[in-house]
Chains A and B, each alone.
Chain A
Amino acid sequence: MREFYSLLVPVLFSLCLLGCANRSPSGGNGRDALLLKYRAAADHMRRAEFDAAKPLLDDAVTTLGGLTAGDVSARKARGYFQSESRKNFRGEPYERVMAFFYRGILYWMDGEPDNARACFRSAQIEDSDAEAGKYKADFAILDYLDGLVTAKLGGGSTDFLTRARSNARLGPMPDYDPAANILVFFEMGRGPTKYSSGEYGEQLRFRTGTSRSTAVVLTGAGLSVRVGPSDDLSFQATTRGGRQMDHVLANKAVFKGATDGFGDAAIVSGAILAGTAGRRTAADEVGAGLLIAGLVSKMISAAATPSADTRAWDNLPNLIGFSAFRLPEGSHQLKADFVDASGAVTLSRTISIQVEPGTRDTVLFLSDRP
């Protein structure tokens, strides 16, 4: 009876601690609010519901613009007994880049190319903390667009084009045409996803995305252009390298392993002592103590949560690209064929556009995602 109560007290006490520690500080939806906005915004973009996407992306870039120092959810996520996914979701750099990228497209649609450029610049900054220097701020399309806006606004764009070309891995980046008035942004395929590996799931890993389409062929209005993608989000996701949070998770994993190992050793030792010694002897007491300590240690180990946060903006594309050309004022019909590597059409879209007089660009967004 005494042993039973001796065991029950620490068990309940630990439960008390663990039960409280596992409560959400801000609720599930609060943590995932940005993630839900990301996903909804991408859906709206694909349905050409740009006015609906705008406030969602505004919220997103505003949130991303704020610093997270002092964020309670982040502090808790670093704790031994809270999982990383307890923090408010902001996404990995490639996800944050896409929020700024989409918002930049919408600014350009609204005739604010300088604010679009601001978004492309912020996007590039989001990508600037890769571990290896050559992968820092290496989205070719972002430098290219930065330069194009600058050229259109009368500034020098040579450096931007040089940087874009040095980062271009999927194909050549054409010279700028500041007079181009039709700007086509396109995206293809399904983007990277996240999973965790390691003994306790403490290592964040990325599964590369796929895309059947590899290019877009634009025809109509005297045009026939084949345009390939500029950037691959899977490449971006997998070349970021280690995060500082990975060190935190590794420490959590060590803690979890150590407490688990101690628990095993203590339980086995305690059981042997208690089993071999006579009842109510000193060795029996020590054995019981070791058993209890082992159980508590096992419970602490069980409560430690080193698993990496695998929440992901899971409706991103795998490839993104851009093309610019000139069309005269008036109504035009364009056909956009997404094609695979063999040239077979994977999806065809017909676009009616009205080119207005003046200097405002006509911005199109095409996706092969439903």
Chain B
Amino acid sequence: MYRSSVFSLQQLTSIALAAVLAGCASSGVRNPSGNGVTVLKADEQGFVAGTGVESQDIVTVTDKMARSILEVPQIQRAQGQPRVVLLPIENNTRFAINKDVLLTRIRARLNSQTRGKVMFLARERMAALEKEQQLKQSGQVTSGSDANVVEFQGADFFLTGKLDGSTTKSARGVSDYVLYTFQLIDARTSAIVWEDLAEIKKQGLDDAAYR
């Protein structure tokens, strides 16, 4: 009886010893072989998220604005192509963002959807365009037309926008509201011929280890 009990303890000791050696090998680094690339749509929320401006917000907002601009009478019933210049967006939120991405996406959506209904002018490339014109005027490069005639077009409308935000933070978490407003301004009269908005609110709570 006593010998049998000692034998079982020896067995148990061996099992425990094996567990010491083997158990640790199975723990440690999480996802030791890494994560494969996960392709997400730009308008879906990934597993990495905050309360700031994210790709799904940009897609939602710019899609809405592009659709809305097309319904503006001055665009729909325009004789010829209205020429639009983009003015930088003003960021009044607490999130530092690449401001160009919003207007760039609206422009790309309008260009691809309307097939020439609206013409955007590349004012942000003026330095390069002026240099090219000077090269043509000086005869250093060829020109398909009279290089001394200014053909840079003026704007009929300015498209611009603004981001405003409001933040609340407490022990229960952080909440961020961002209001996106966009305007189409008549360059001749300064009248705001179109304005639309989109608003997104997000909230979340950090792990207690960081609070």
What is the interface of chain A, defined by CB distance below 8 A to chain B?
A: 1-2, 5-6, 8-9, 12-13, 15-17, 19-21, 23-27, 61, 65-72, 74-75, 77-78, 84, 87, 90, 103-104, 107, 112, 114-119, 121-122, 125, 128-129, 153, 155, 243-245, 248
Contact = CB atoms under 8 A, between A and B. Distances in A.
Nearest to B52: A65
Q: Interface centre among B17, B91, B204, B207, by most A CB within 10 Å?
A: B207
B197 to A, nearest CB: 19
Interface of B: 2, 5-6, 9-10, 12-13, 16-17, 19-20, 23-24, 26-30, 48-52, 90-97, 99, 167, 169-171, 174, 204-211
B11 to A, nearest CB: 10
B93 A118 contact: yes
Nearest to B92: A114
Contact of A153 (B30, B51, B90, B205): B90
Contact of B96 (A19, A90, A119): A119
A1 B91 CA distance: 77
Given A5-B12, A71-B210, 8 more contacts: A9-B16, A26-B29, A65-B95, A66-B48, A125-B169, A125-B174, A129-B211, A244-B171
A61 to B, nearest CB: 7
A285 B132 CA distance: 98
Given A68-B209, A72-B30, A118-B94, A9 B24 contact: no
Contacts of B171: 129, 244
A61 B20 contact: no
Contact of A71 (B16, B92, B94, B207): B207
Given A26-B29, A26-B30, A61-B96, A6 B23 contact: no
A346 B97 CA distance: 39
Given A9-B16, A12-B17, A16-B23, A118 B208 contact: no
Contacts of B28: 23-25
Given A67-B50, A128-B169, A248-B209, A9 B90 contact: no
Given A2-B6, A16-B23, A68 B12 contact: no
A245 B52 contact: no
Q: Interface centre among B23, B26, B91, B209, by most A CB within 10 Å?
A: B209
B9 A9 contact: yes
Contact of B204 (A67, A87, A155, A244): A67
Contact of B95 (A20, A27, A122): A122
B10 A5 contact: yes
A23 to B, nearest CB: 4
A245 B207 CA distance: 9
Nearest to B167: A125
A67 B209 contact: no
Nearest to A114: B91
B50 A65 contact: yes
A23 B24 CA distance: 8
A114 B6 CA distance: 76
A269 B190 CA distance: 91
B13 A8 contact: yes
B29 A24 contact: yes
A25 B29 CA distance: 5
Nearest to A75: B207
B105 to A, nearest CB: 18
A1 B23 contact: no
Nearest to A21: B27
A78 B208 CA distance: 8
Nearest to A103: B96
B13 A9 contact: yes
30 contacts: A1-B6, A2-B2, A8-B16, A12-B16, A12-B17, A12-B20, A19-B24, A20-B24, A23-B24, A23-B29, A25-B29, A26-B30, A27-B29, A65-B50, A65-B51, A65-B52, A67-B51, A71-B207, A74-B207, A77-B209, A78-B208, A84-B209, A87-B209, A114-B91, A114-B92, A117-B92, A118-B94, A122-B96, A129-B169, A129-B211
A114 B90 contact: yes
Contacts of A122: 94-96
Given A23-B27, A125-B94, A129-B171, A67 B206 contact: yes
B32 to A, nearest CB: 10
Q: Interface centre among A12, A27, A77, A248, by most B CB within 10 Å?
A: A12
A80 to B, nearest CB: 14
